[in-house]
Amino acid sequence: MEIEWKNEILYQDLVKWDSRLKYEAPFFNEIIKSIDNPETRILDVSCGTGDHLVMFAKWGYRGVGIDISEHNIAAAEELSKRNKTDGKIKFIIGDMLKLEESLEGEKFDFISCIGNTFSIFTPEERTLIFNQMYNLLNVGGKILFQVVNYLSHTNETEWFYKPIILRGNSDEIQYTVRIMEWKELKEKITMYVLKAQQEGEKSENFILHKKRTEFYVLKSNHFKEFTDKVNAVLSLFGDYEKTEFNEKMSKDLVTIITKK
């Protein structure tokens, strides 16, 4: 399928930052405070538009954000400047498959990789990423992954999420629909995104954008394998409210890995 618009535009469309951060803030606050270091340094891997790091900086924490998208990093820098947190955060354009190369000599106490990013990588790539994140972590530090728990959809062949309706810059209407479909013996998911964008306010014409992305179905065992190898402590949750993880029911798979 032809890809007509870039990842970053899709990502911006799908996130409602105010409500998302309001929901996530208590979880992050608790996890960061639980790390016994007054100078806690944070690394956000695939930081997107930097919204989490800006929130952490407002709480007083210094951090680094890395993302492969120049567009997202430019938006992150802009957001940080607007919030006067630019003295506390460094943003880097870089590939998370080469994390150590971009962050040579640096160490962190809290490393996050959230927003389902880890699900786009192959098993070999995931091992490479995890090992580098772990090397960059101080003893006593924590790594957080958050991915979608697609196993809660095992009984459906295909399904869709509630459509998103937005107003664009010139007040034109934008409708976005996400349709999900199982692939390859339920080891993978295909996501089709269709976006209908009005050509201008009051116009009768709509432009149709379409995109297809594939995700691996990540399970708790994948994370257990990583942590067993390095003898770290693994905690699993089903969401940011710390509900107990249930493979059949939980919306998300949230993992906290603590370095001993």
Ligand X SMILES: C[S@@+](CC[C@H](N)C(=O)[O-])C[C@H]1O[C@@H](n2cnc3c(N)ncnc32)[C@H](O)[C@@H]1O
- Please give the residue ranges that form the binding site for ligand X (CB under 6 A): 7, 11, 15, 46-48, 67-69, 72, 95-97, 114-117
Q: Min. distance of Cβ 137 from ligand X in angstroms?
A: 18
Q: What radius of gyration, in Å, describes the C-alpha atoms of the chain?
A: 19
Q: Min. distance of Cβ 84 from ligand X in angstroms?
A: 22
Q: Min. distance of Cβ 92 from ligand X in angstroms?
A: 10
**Residue among 122 and 205 whose Cβ is closer to ligand X:** 122
Helix, strand or coil, per DSSP, at residue 231: coil
**Residue among 126 and 198 whose Cβ is closer to ligand X:** 126
**Residue among 145 and 198 whose Cβ is closer to ligand X:** 145
What tokens appear for 61 in the block? 């924490």
CB 173 within 8 A of CB 167: yes
Q: Min. distance of Cβ 8 from ligand X in angstroms?
A: 6
From CA 159, how far away is CA 178, in angstroms rounded?
9
Residue type, 88: K
- Residue 137 CB-density burial (10 A; 0-12 exposed, 13-18 middle, 19+ buried): buried
Q: Min. distance of Cβ 49 from ligand X in angstroms?
A: 7
Q: Are strands 173-183 and 164-167 parallel, antiparallel or unpaired?
A: antiparallel
- What are the CA-CA distances from residue 97 to residues 157, 181, 259 (Å)? 32, 27, 21
**Residue among 93 and 234 whose Cβ is closer to ligand X:** 93
**Residue among 46 and 85 whose Cβ is closer to ligand X:** 46
CB 137 within 8 A of CB 131: no
The residues with which 64 forms a beta bridge, in sequence order, are 43, 90
Q: Are strands 252-258 and 108-113 parallel, antiparallel or unpaired?
A: unpaired
**Residue among 80 and 117 whose Cβ is closer to ligand X:** 117
Q: Min. distance of Cβ 73 from ligand X in angstroms?
A: 9
Give residue number: closest CB to ligand X.
115
Q: How far is CA 192 from the centre of its chain?
A: 18
**Residue among 129 and 137 whose Cβ is closer to ligand X:** 129
Q: Min. distance of Cβ 205 from ligand X in angstroms?
A: 30
Residue 107 phi, psi dihedral angles, 5° rounding: -135, 150
- What are the CA-CA distances from residue 221 to residues 14, 140, 217, 224, 226 (Å)? 29, 23, 11, 5, 9
